[in-house]
Amino acid sequence: MSVRVRIPTILRTYTGGDSEVTAEGATLAEVLDHLDANYAGIKGRILDEDGKLRRFVNVYVNNDDVRFEQELATPTPAGAEVSVIPAVAGGC
């Protein structure tokens, strides 16, 4: 399952400046493992020491926030777009 992964600015040091890379995997966890095999250390920026999504990172699979899906077990079908975005919010 080949997917496209959108890389935020602060992680582009790992991807040689590329804003989008491809990765393989049937779930988000597998995609992140594959990413880390190609770009060593990038997974540790997205997941914390317990292997969970860091508190201030939002990850989307085809525009769906994985926190409302199956977190790291969220399926990543072929051709899906995975976006890693720092968490920000408006409001008060």
Partner 1 sequence: MSAVVTESPETTKPGLREGAFGNATALSCRECGHQVALGPFYACPECFGPLEISYAFPLVTREEIEAGPRNIWRYKALLPVPSDIETSPNTEPGFTRLLDAANLAAELGIAKLWVKDDSTNPTNSFKDRVVACALSAARELGSTVFACPSTGNLANAVAAAGARAGIKTVVFIPSNLEQPKQVNSAIFTENLVAVDGNYDDVNKLASEIAGEEEGWAFVNVNVRPYYAEGSKTLGYEIAEQLGWRLPDQVVIPVASGSQLTKVDKAFQELIKLGLVEDKPYRIFGAQAEGCGPVATAYKAGVDAIRPVKPDTIAKSLAIGNPADGIYVLDIARRTGGAVEEVTDEEIRAGIVLLARTEGIFTETAGGTTTAVTKKLVETGQLDPTLETVIINTGHGLKTLDSISGQVGPAATIAPSYDAFKATGL
Stretch 66-85 residues interacting with partner 1 (CB under 8 A): 67-68, 83, 85
Residue numbers 5-24 binding partner 1 by CB under 8 A: 6, 8-10, 13, 19
Tell me the residue ranges of DSSP E strands in the chain. Answer: 2-6, 20-24, 57-61, 64-65, 81-86
Alpha helices, DSSP H only, in 4-55? 28-38, 42-46
Q: Is 57 in the site for partner 1 (CB under 8 A)?
A: yes
Question: Of 1, 15, 33, 45, which one interacts with partner 1 (CB under 8 A)?
Answer: 45
C-beta of 24 vs 81, nearer to partner 1: 81
Tell me how far apart the alpha carbons of residues 68 and 54 are, in angstroms, rounded to a whole number: 15
Q: In terms of CB distance, is 48 or 77 closer to partner 1?
A: 48
